[in-house]
Structures are given as structure tokens and as C-alpha cells.
Structure 1
Amino acid sequence: MTSENTQKPHDRMAAYLNADMTAVNDLIRDRMASEHAPRIPEVTAHLVEAGGKRLRPMLTLAAARLCGYDGPYHVHLAATVEFIHTATLLHDDVVDESAQRRGRPTANLLWDNKSSVLVGDYLFARSFQLMTETNNMRVLAILANASATIAEGEVLQLTAAQNLATDQGIYLQVVRGKTAALFSAATQVGGVIATAPDAQVQALFDYGDALGIAFQIVDDLLDYQGDPNATGKNIGDDFRERKLTLPVIKAIAKGDAAERDFWTRTIEKGKQEEGDLEHALSLLNAHGTLDETKAEALAWAEQAKTALNTLPDHDLTQMLRDLADYVVARIS
């Protein structure tokens, strides 16, 4: 049996919040049903039951519980967060023309793009139905704003991903949109529903924001130096898909004219040849940008942990600290 010390932080959190997570899963199954369109639960179940960590809804439950909440609506909010996340995954896989997610064929591959987009729309609508049931306008505003920020981040990425003018500021804006916005909303609404003091609600937002940024930077770094068996991605997938991520943005800023020509050909124009990935990796290593990116991820994780200092001393607060360490442990 796994001891508590060797268990992963999100597994410890899942065990601690087991009753709440069971209620969230029951509510998700109930609300993804459709009387008139059986394809909706088919497509949704394929993704929802795929064995994801349910990290975002767990953050909502943890935030509410550590702030002393004992009502029913943290379950609604956690399910809302998971529906928003699932909707964005369905849409992302269509935009990215992905064939695999969490080791399984994507919904757009098993059904079609139209089904993925429309079921994603349905889940967004369901998420808004769920959040209104809390009768809390502040919660509604936070999650509605997060949904808009996520969509905005995805559109910004379309134009920024293959444009060599994209700098770290724009990269951070994309990451805050497509990843961190839902993390920070997930933690923030947990505090709001618990009527926590403003300083604690702000601390929960800051934690989620920093954790989400660290999470995405680590993902981008692992694309160039991860273990494909652990990540489920091949080394260089982002390069092949012509995505400008932080290690490359840093390398372009440090490169000479010949290097810039290389990045223009491979990323902007998409004319990739045999050996280009190896050359890209050699440039990243030569300029030390993989190490710099790693340092930034670790700094964001530290920032997330510092935010927790304002929160009550609680088992869940320590689990959130451990979670921040775990997110970056993959690159340590």
C-alpha cells in the first residue's frame, strides 16, 4: 500500500476530498445527460471518463473546504469548472487537429469536428446553468470572465504561435488565458462561496494564477526534454506544430541573423526538413534557454506557495503547497 509520503499530492487531495469528488462526479454525469441528443453524453463521457486527474475541480473543493465552507454549492462550482475545462479540450482538439488525448483517440477523430464543437458548446451552456444555481453574482462574474479570457487566449495563440515577433509578454498573456485563467478562477470561487475575507480570496486567486503559469511552462519545457512515455507526447511536437513556446522565444531573442533565418523558415513558414529538430535543440542548449525556462517555472511555483501564507493553517493548505512542488518536480 502506498504510504502518504510517497503518494502524489493530487492523489492525497483526492483521498481527502473523496466524498466531495464523488458528489461532483455524480453531478457531472447527471448534467451531461441529454434527452434529445444521445451523442452529447457519448462524446462527453469519452473525455470525462478518460481518467484525467480532475485537478481543477479539486482546487475549487480544496479552496472552499480550507476556508471553512460547509454548504452544497462548492460541488456545483467544481462541476462547472470541469465542464468549462472539458469544453475547451473538445474545441482545442479540433483547432489543433489532434488525434490523441490522454492516450486515447480524440472525440473529433472518433466522431467528427462538428460533434466536438457543438458538444463543447453544450458543455459551456451547462456550466452556466450550474453556476447560476449558486445564486451568487460574484461567482458568476468570476467564471464568466474566466470563460471569456480562455477564449481570448486561444484566439491570441492563433496569431502569436507562429509569429517571431511574439515576446515573453505575449506568451505570458496566452498562458494566462488558455491555462492559468481556469486555475485561478477555480481556486478563487472556492474562497468566494465560503465568504472568506478578501485577502484570502485574493491569495487563492494568486495561487491559482501562479500554479497555472508554472503548469504550462513545465508542459512547454517537457516538449523539448521530457520522457515521451511519461508525457504522452513525442519530443518536439510543439516544434513540428510550429508553436512558439518560451524556450524558443528566449532562443530567438538571443540568436544571430542566421539563427533567426532558421526560426523564420521552420516556425513562421513551416518549411521543416530532416535534422531541423536536432538543430533547434542544439540552439536551445547553446543559449541555455531550457535551463532559463526551468528557472522561471520553479519561480512561479514558489510564487504560488508564497500566496498560501495568507490562508488558514489546514491540511489542504499543505497539500496545495505540495501540489505546487509536484507540478515542477517533473523538470527538477
Structure 2
Amino acid sequence: MPSRITVLGAGSWGTAYAKVLADAGNEVTVLARRTEVAEALSAGSNPGYLPDVALPRMRAVTEPGAALDGAELVVLAVPSQSLRENLAAWRGLLPPDVSIVSLAKGIELGTLQRCSEVIADAGAIEPERIIAVSGPNLAREVAAEQPTAVVYGAREHERAVRLQELSKTAYFRPYTNQDVIGCEIGGACKNVIALACGIATGLGFGANTTATLVTRGLAEITRLAVALGADPMTLSGLAGLGDLVATCSSPLSRNRTFGTRLAAGETVAMAQKAAHGQVAEGVKSCSSARELGRRSHVDMPIADVVHRVCHEGAVPRAMVAELLGREAKPERD
């Protein structure tokens, strides 16, 4: 049976996922911050985020109370670092017992919490109600109905299966996984590796360098995830390798594009301005991933290098040389 679903956030990924849900036959309401965005969505477009994409019929509003009234499932489509702030405003409006779906991929600065942990903490939501979405999810490709698959990480399998039923379309294939930690760490840390790949591409390096960063990045992510209690097999699937390949190789990736700008000599502030409001999550997640690695006694050399380039003024080309100059060791170490 279709459901009444509310998507809180009208950025590119929130809009693309709302389209998936509407295409699957659900009654979808989207919360937008700006009146002009809500009006455009109601009229079938979101030109500021997904130009030239025709959207199916959906309702869009600017008042959280109106958006959440009668919702049978709620999707959080805001950046990871603003989740807590938004949940403080929405907490009293969230319907009881419904599943809460997180589209954000990141690790909160300061607390080092994964997004599902932030939602449980700031929203007073039982962890069993939370579903984390991960996998290769480039918003523009999803909106263009190019075939893709995702994974729904949830402690309570039945909730993930229900969301699977509500979101499956001819172009969007969801899988389920009860390893929430693995799904979220893969989704958060791939942005950091994508920044590194963007830097390497911007410096003129080719496919060998990118493949090396992707492969060693996957090893780095897997070490951290396993140290936190994840199943290593999760990282060989959609939430790990799948998401990593898409984000590190596509020019549509905000994080990869951000990295190329840094390699060209732009500052973080300049690159953020050029992104026109689009968030490159890896810029902040590199710091929290590095710190989480230190807390867990896990070596995170790529995250460390990206952090220093983004936040300590390190020269990108020197950082590549530093990675290559690390002590030789067996591949599986």
C-alpha cells in the first residue's frame, strides 16, 4: 500500500529521493526553506538544484507543522552537520512510531556521532525506528531515472523492508542491511576519499592514481568501520565500494569537484562559494573521520591528508608525495 511520506529538505538529493517516492506511487510532501522553492516544486520543478528535471506531482510547503501533519514516514534530507539544529526545531512535531529515514552521510563534528546517533539523540527517536540510506546516489542521475541501487541500513529489518516496498521503481532498486554502522561509516568516509581523488585529478594525475586512492581508501574505511563494530562485508557492497566508485569517479560528485578546485589553488572558502550552496560533506567529515580513527586507534592516512589540505593550509601536491612516501608494508596491513 502507498504511504503518506514527508521529506524534510528540498536540496538536490532530497528532491531526487522525493521523486523516487512519488514515482513509486506515494503521496509525498516536501518541506522547503524558501517560498520560491516550494512553489517551484508544487509546479513540477526545482531549477535551483535539479534544472531541466520534470518532477511528478508532489506537495511542497514551508511550515514544518504542515509538512509533518499526517505523515506515515519521515525522510530527513538535510546535511549531516545541520541535523542536530534542525531536529531541535522539528522534535516536537515528528509523529510517534513512524520510521525516520536519514539521507545524510557524515560524522558530526565534536560528538563524532554517526547521523543515526544524532537523530536518536537530538530527536529523541528510538534507534530501531531509524533507517540510513547509503549507496551510489548521485542525485542528478537518480532524478534522470538512470538505473541505480541503494541499501537501507536498519536495526529493525521489517522497517527497512517496508521502505523497500515503498521506494522500488523501474530505475531505483533498494536492498536492506542490518549493519547500520557499516552503512553509515561507508557513506560518510567515501566523501573524504572523493576529495582526495578530486585533488589528484586536479593535479593532473590519471586513472592509476584514482584507482590507488579508491582501493586504499576502501581499506581505510573498512578498518575504521570494523573497529566500530561493523561487518567488513558491508564495505564490499553498495554502502562501501559502490558509493566509493560513484563518488570518486563522477564529475557530478560535489566532493570530487571540490577537491579539483583545491588542487587548482582555491581556498576552501572560494570553493564553497563556487558550489552555490551545495554542500561537500567531506570537507567537515575529514576532520571527524580522522578524529574518530584516532579515538579507535585506526590509521587514517588519507583522511589525515585531506584534513590538512582543507583546514591547515597544506599544499596538495606535497600531500600526495607524503602518501606515496609512507613506509612500505604488506597490502593487507
With the length of structure 1 as denominator, give the TM-score of the two structures: 0.31
With the length of structure 2 as denominator, give the TM-score of the two structures: 0.31
Q: Which has the larger radius of gyration?
A: 1
